[in-house]
Structure 1
Amino acid sequence: MLSLFTRVGIGYQVCLNLASRGCRVIIADKDDSEKSKNRIIALTQNPNIISKYLDLSSFKSVRDFADDFKGTEGRLDILVNNAGISVSSLKPTEDGLDLLMQVNYLGPFLLTHLLIDLLKKSAPSRIVFTSSCLAFLGDLKSNDVYFTTSNSCSSFTTLNSYSNSKLATLIASDIFAKKLKYTGVTSNSLHPGLVLTNIFKALKKIENTGSISEMFFNICHFFFGKSIWEGAQTTTHLAVCEDLDGVTGEYFWDCRRFVKPRRAYDEEMCQKIWELSENHAKLLPHEKI
Structure 2
Amino acid sequence: MLAFLCCVVFLVYAFHRLTIAKTKSSTCLVGKTAIVTGANSGIGYQTVLNLASRGCRVIMADVCDLTQSRNNVIKYTNNTNIVAKKLDLASLQSIRDFASEVAKTESRLDILVNNAGISASKSNRTEDGLNPVMQINYFGHFLLTHLLIDLLKKSSSRIVFTSSFMSFFHNLTLKNLNYDATPDDSITALRIYCNSKLAQMIASDIFASKLRGTGVTSNSVNPGIVRTTLLGQFFSVQTKLKPLRLFTDLYLRFMAKDPWEGSQVIVHCAVSKRLEGVSGKYFWDCMSAFKPSLAKDEEFCRKFWEKSEKFVKLAPEERL
C-alpha contact 1:190 1:253 (8 A) present in aligned 2: yes
Q: What corresponds to 2:173 in structure 1?
A: 141
Going from structure 1 to structure 2, the CA distance change for 1:163 and 1:72 (only over 3 Å counts) comes to same
Matches within 5 A, 1:120-139: 120-122=153-155, 124-139=156-171
| Structure 2 counterpart of 1:126, one-letter code | R
Q: Which 4+ runs in 1 deviate beyond 4 A?
A: none
Q: What corresponds to 1:44 in structure 2?
A: 77
Q: CA deviation at 1:150?
A: 1.4
Of residues 207-216 and 31-40 in structure 1, the stretch that sits farther from structure 2 once superposed is 207-216
Determine helix, strand or coil for the equivalent of 1:249. Answer: coil
Matches within 5 A, 1:70-85: 70-85=103-118
Select which of 259, 263, 266 maps to 1:235: 266
CA RMSD of aligned residues (A): 1.3
Determine helix, strand or coil for the equivalent of 1:139. Answer: coil
Structure 2 residues not aligned, in runs of 5+: 1-31
Going from structure 1 to structure 2, the CA distance change for 1:125 and 1:222 (only over 3 Å counts) comes to same
Q: What corresponds to 1:275 in structure 2?
A: 306
Partners of 2:182 and 2:75 in 1: CA distance: 46
Q: TM-score, normalised by structure 2?
A: 0.87
| Structure 2 counterpart of 1:141, one-letter code | T
Partners of 1:280 and 1:244 in 2: CA distance: 32
| Structure 2 counterpart of 1:234, one-letter code | V
C-alpha contact 1:88 1:153 (8 A) present in aligned 2: no
Q: CA deviation at 1:205?
A: 2.2
Of residues 152-161 and 271-280 in structure 1, the stretch that sits farther from structure 2 once superposed is 152-161
Matches within 5 A, 1:150-165: 150-165=181-196
Q: How many residue pairs end up in the alignment?
A: 287
Q: TM-score, normalised by structure 1?
A: 0.96
Deviations 1:104-158 (A, max 9, x none): 0000000000000110012x11000000000001121122x33143134322111
Going from structure 1 to structure 2, the CA distance change for 1:107 and 1:207 (only over 3 Å counts) comes to closer
Q: CA deviation at 1:99?
A: 0.6
Q: Does residue 107 of the first structure (1) align with residue 151 of the second (2)? A: no
Determine helix, strand or coil for the equivalent of 1:63. Answer: helix
Q: What corresponds to 2:11 in structure 1?
A: none
| Structure 1 counterpart of 2:78, one-letter code | Q
Determine helix, strand or coil for the equivalent of 2:104. Answer: helix
Q: CA deviation at 1:265?
A: 1.0
Partners of 2:196 and 2:173 in 1: CA distance: 12
Partners of 2:297 and 2:185 in 1: CA distance: 29
Going from structure 1 to structure 2, the CA distance change for 1:4 and 1:211 (only over 3 Å counts) comes to same
Structure 1 residues not aligned, in runs of 5+: none
Q: What corresponds to 1:3 in structure 2?
A: 34
C-alpha contact 1:90 1:153 (8 A) present in aligned 2: no
Select which of 200, 220, 228 maps to 1:189: 220
Q: CA deviation at 1:202?
A: 1.3
Q: CA deviation at 1:236?
A: 0.5
Q: What corresponds to 1:211 in structure 2?
A: 242
